[in-house]
């Protein structure tokens, strides 16, 4: 029998699952099934499998049947470059489909050291609580005194109450108020930002989860892991990218994205922000940064702990702003000062709002105001692009669901549907999740990535824009192939529980991870088998969302009209557009390569090939029934 074939739990896993019933205030601990580790690896894979098996179609995202899943991977907490990752998942209140978000910091390692790979939060607590996991001791404690407080005060307060050695994740007022894009905060600046995971915690009245662990992660070959880990650190430090990228973190890419005409600007009206050199990585390092800040074990700390000053609002400390926040509050909301972007970042972090969606929504609201879709009376004041006071006003209204904030808290899809008057054209999202920091009208692979990402418009499943630029931006051939390749590799990092930026940004070879996995786990799983597990997760998530959201498939794999019908008006991508016909040809090729129907759903055969026969029956009915071609 092949080792790792699902009979014995491999190395790398803590070995236990914690299930918390918030409705009844109870919990239970069970062993992690070796089959789960074998087929789904960890992290994102555990999230996907657990959501599919637990949340029934028809469950309300903010109701008692939804769950929040928190999972580490087999490499999480093993002292290696980038081993601080944790995955959070839920049925998304933004899209109604599969939702997840990945977070750095130290929480995942803490979970592993406490002896858990997977935590499942079920039901709804009658009052605000903090779930405290202290090795084997699990308690659900009242948190009413923290309800209403910001993320920063809550995390600091809980560290005082429980001990500095607890790792803590929290929600802010936005999560309590069920803002559809509320995030989960950690480490005073790290977030699981996307898909509204913070709103679902809020619906369960979980203000925070705290963990402290004292165990080691069991390894199949401790000496081998140690030796290879040492080599990995040395190789990382020797990479040219270590010196050119690390000083700026993700903000390093601001210049390039503008120069290729892909920087979202003025609610995605255009793709070039003229003052970009005022808000780039160089300015961040020179003007704001106090010191670098990284996740557990990271040799290339991308976090930039910064001091920002805005005369009208004061001074604040913030981790960032990183690229996405710069792109969305900078280009998309047209803030020209890095201090202002950093301050908006700080306020969102404290209120518990995803900066990407919040900025996207605010840009949408400002365009609606400019076009007369929203009036001054509806908003409560005039608002304008480039005005920090407008941005902060709306951020606070949204987090509190006050006045216009109640509508905007629903996200751009719902807000535009309720406002009508053609505002859907200015609502830049896919499937209800707001678009992120890459305007893609001159980047077919990136456009396809956004259209097909499993959580809605998100870049990190397949950051294919560099491939577009390298291989020809008019060219469609080979783009679907690349997107699929990346959609398997990049989410595999989320299954393993390790950061992908060492590979993406520093040029770390994937071979390192291929060598590492058997040393950690003791299995003989090949890289190809790991990628197949990632493909299994991708298909499982497609089935999950198709069963939960009518029409999830080709009809929803589309950018909004603005990005398909309005050529870029200026900048390096001036005049460029991917037409609906070109998008259709990309989708045709994508579905064909994936083994999906022309409507964008996994075929019975593809699901059977991945060991998902039960899911095939749930999607298509019993074998023998007709399935669309
Ligand atoms: Fe964390 Fe950034 Fe390092 Fe990745 S590169 S491990 S996100 S600090």
**Three-state SS sequence of 489-505:** HHHHHHHHCCCCHHHHC
Spatial distance between the Cα atoms of 272 and 199, rounded to a whole number of angstroms: 33
Same domain, 448 and 412: no
Determine the distance separating the centroid of ligand 1 and the alpha carbon of 87, expressed in angstroms.
14
> In this prediction, what percent of the chain has a pLDDT beyond 90?
96
What is the CATH number for 542? Answer: 1.10.599.10
Q: Give the pLDDT score at 7.
A: 78
| CA 391 to centroid of chain Cα atoms | 23
Nearest to 497 by CA among 38, 44, 106, 85: 85
Same domain, 552 and 588: yes
Per-residue model confidence as pLDDT tens digits over 440-496 = 999 999 999 999 999 999 999 999 999 999 999 999 999 999 999 999 999 999 999
613 within some domain = yes
Determine the distance separating the centroid of ligand 1 and the alpha carbon of 86, expressed in angstroms.
12
For the Cβ of 499 lying below 6 angstroms from any atom of ligand 1, the answer is yes
Mutate to test the pocket of ligand 1, among 294, 323, 505 (most ligand atoms within 8 A of CB): 294
Q: Which two tokens stand for residue 499?
A: 């950061």
Same domain, 331 and 415: yes
239 within some domain = no
8 within some domain = no
For residues 50-75, give the mean pLDDT.
98
For the Cβ of 236 lying below 6 angstroms from any atom of ligand 1, the answer is no
Nearest to 74 by CA among 513, 495, 536, 492: 495
Same domain, 200 and 178: yes
Q: Which of 434, 457, 477 is the last residue of a domain?
A: 434
Determine the distance separating the centroid of ligand 1 and the alpha carbon of 442, expressed in angstroms.
29
Looking at residue 375, the DSSP 8-state letter turns out to be -
Q: Give the pLDDT score at 508.
A: 87
Same domain, 399 and 450: no
Q: Give the pLDDT score at 624.
A: 67
Q: Which of 367, 399, 434 is the last residue of a domain?
A: 434
Q: Give the pLDDT score at 106.
A: 97
228 within some domain = no
Same domain, 512 and 616: yes
222 within some domain = no
Q: Give the pLDDT score at 625.
A: 56
Determine the distance separating the centroid of ligand 1 and the alpha carbon of 502, expressed in angstroms.
8
Same domain, 304 and 417: yes
Q: Give the pLDDT score at 6.
A: 55
What is the CATH number for 207? Answer: 3.60.9.10
Parallel/antiparallel/unpaired status of strands 118-122 and 68-71: antiparallel
Q: Which of 190, 212, 234 is the last residue of a domain?
A: 212
Per-residue model confidence as pLDDT tens digits over 73-85 = 999 999 999 999 9
* 268 has pLDDT over 70: yes
Per-residue model confidence as pLDDT tens digits over 44-55 = 999 999 999 999
| CA 125 to centroid of chain Cα atoms | 26
Same domain, 479 and 610: yes
Ligand 1 atom index nearest CA of 299: 3
Contact 261, 572 (CB under 8 A): yes
Determine the distance separating the centroid of ligand 1 and the alpha carbon of 457, expressed in angstroms.
22
Nearest residue CA, atom 6 of ligand 1?
Answer: 82
Parallel/antiparallel/unpaired status of strands 314-319 and 303-310: antiparallel
Count up the domains in the chain and report the number: 3
Give buried/exposed letters for 390-411 (b at 16+ CB in 10 A, else e). bbbbbbebbbbbeebbebbbbb
Nearest residue CA, atom 1 of ligand 1?
Answer: 295
3 within some domain = no
Q: Is it true that the peptide bond before 12 is cis, omega within 30 degrees of 0?
A: no
Spatial distance between the Cα atoms of 398 and 389, rounded to a whole number of angstroms: 14
Check residue 6 and give left, alpha or beta (phi > 0: left; psi -120 to 50: alpha).
left
For the Cβ of 498 lying below 6 angstroms from any atom of ligand 1, the answer is no
538 within some domain = yes
Ligand 1 atom index nearest CA of 293: 8
Same domain, 390 and 260: yes
> Where does the pLDDT of residue 2 fall: very low under 50, low under 70, confident under 90, or very high at 90 and above?
very low
Same domain, 428 and 462: no
Mutate to test the pocket of ligand 1, among 300, 321, 325, 460 (most ligand atoms within 8 A of CB): 300
Q: Give CA separation, 359 vs 364, 409, 437, 581, in Å.
A: 9, 12, 10, 30
Q: Which residues touch 481 (CB under 8 Å, ≥6 apart)?
A: 589, 593
Same domain, 559 and 449: yes
> Range of 469's domain?
444-620
Same domain, 194 and 334: no
Residue with tokens 């049925």: 91
Q: Give the pLDDT score at 283.
A: 98
Nearest residue CA, atom 7 of ligand 1?
Answer: 104
Q: What is the pTM of this model?
A: 0.97
């Amino acid at each position: 029998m092949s080792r790792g074939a699902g009979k014995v739990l491999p190395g790398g896993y803590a070995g236990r699952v914690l299930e918390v019933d918030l409705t009844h205030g109870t919990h239970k601990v069970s062993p992690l099934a070796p089959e789960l580790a074998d087929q789904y690896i960890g992290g994102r894979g555990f999230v996907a499998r657990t959501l599919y098996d637990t949340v029934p179609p028809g469950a309300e995202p903010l109701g008692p049947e939804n769950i929040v899943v928190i999972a580490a991977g087999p490499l999480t907490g093993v002292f290696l470059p980038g081993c601080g990752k944790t995955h959070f998942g839920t049925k998304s209140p933004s899209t109604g489909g599969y939702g997840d978000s990945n977070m750095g910091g130290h929480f995942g390692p803490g979970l592993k050291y406490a002896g858990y790979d997977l935590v499942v939060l079920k039901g709804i607590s009658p009052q605000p609580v903090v779930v405290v996991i202290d090795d084997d001791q699990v308690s659900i404690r009242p948190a009413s005194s923290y309800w209403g407080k910001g993320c920063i005060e809550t995390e600091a307060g809980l560290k005082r109450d429980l001990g500095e050695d607890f790792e803590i994740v929290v929600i802010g007022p936005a999560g309590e108020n069920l803002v559809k894009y509320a995030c989960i905060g950690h480490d005073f600046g790290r977030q699981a930002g996307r898909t509204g995971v913070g709103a679902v915690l809020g619906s369960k009245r979980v203000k925070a989860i705290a963990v402290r662990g004292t165990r080691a992660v069991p390894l199949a070959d401790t000496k081998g892991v140690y030796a290879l880990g040492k080599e990995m650190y040395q190789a990382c430090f020797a990479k040219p990218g270590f010196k050119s990228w690390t000083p700026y973190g993700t903000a390093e890419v601001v210049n390039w994205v503008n120069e290729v005409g892909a920087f979202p600007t003025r609610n995605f009206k255009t793709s070039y922000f003229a003052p970009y050199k005022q808000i780039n990585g160089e300015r961040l390092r020179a003007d704001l940064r106090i010191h670098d800040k990284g996740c557990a074990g990271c040799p290339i700390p991308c976090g930039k702990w910064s001091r920002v000053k805005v005369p009208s609002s004061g001074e604040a400390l913030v981790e960032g702003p990183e690229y996405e926040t710069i792109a969305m509050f900078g280009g998309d909301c047209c803030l020209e000062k890095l201090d202002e972007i950093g301050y908006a970042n700080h306020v969102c972090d404290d209120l518990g709002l995803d900066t990407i969606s919040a900025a996207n929504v605010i840009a949408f609201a400002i365009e609606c105001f400019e076009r007369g879709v929203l009036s001054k009376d509806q908003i409560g004041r005039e608002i304008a692009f480039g005005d920090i006071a407008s941005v902060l006003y709306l951020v606070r209204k949204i987090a509190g669901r006050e006045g216009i904030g109640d509508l905007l808290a629903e996200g751009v899809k719902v807000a535009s549907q309720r406002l009508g008057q053609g505002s859907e054209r200015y609502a830049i999202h896919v499937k209800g999740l707001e678009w992120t920091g890459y305007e893609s009208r001159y980047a077919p692979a990136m456009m396809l990535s956004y259209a097909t990402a499993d959580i809605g418009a998100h870049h990190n499943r397949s950051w294919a824009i560099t491939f577009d630029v390298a291989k020809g931006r008019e060219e469609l051939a080979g783009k679907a192939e690349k997107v699929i390749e990346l959609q398997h590799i990049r989410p595999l990092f989320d299954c393993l529980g390790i950061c992908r930026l060492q590979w993406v940004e520093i040029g770390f070879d994937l071979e390192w991870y291929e060598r590492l996995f058997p040393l950690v786990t003791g299995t003989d799983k090949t890289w190809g088998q790991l990628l197949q597990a990632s493909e299994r997760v991708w298909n499982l998530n497609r089935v999950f969302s198709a069963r939960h959201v009518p029409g999830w498939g080709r009809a929803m794999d589309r950018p909004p009209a603005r990005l398909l019908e309005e050529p870029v008006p200026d900048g390096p991508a001036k005049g460029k557009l991917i037409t609906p016909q070109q998008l259709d040809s990309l989708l045709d090729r994508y579905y064909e390569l994936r083994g999906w129907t022309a409507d964008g759903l996994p075929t019975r055969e593809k699901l059977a090939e991945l060991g998902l026969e039960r899911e095939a029956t749930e999607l298509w009915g019993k074998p023998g029934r007709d399935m669309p071609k």
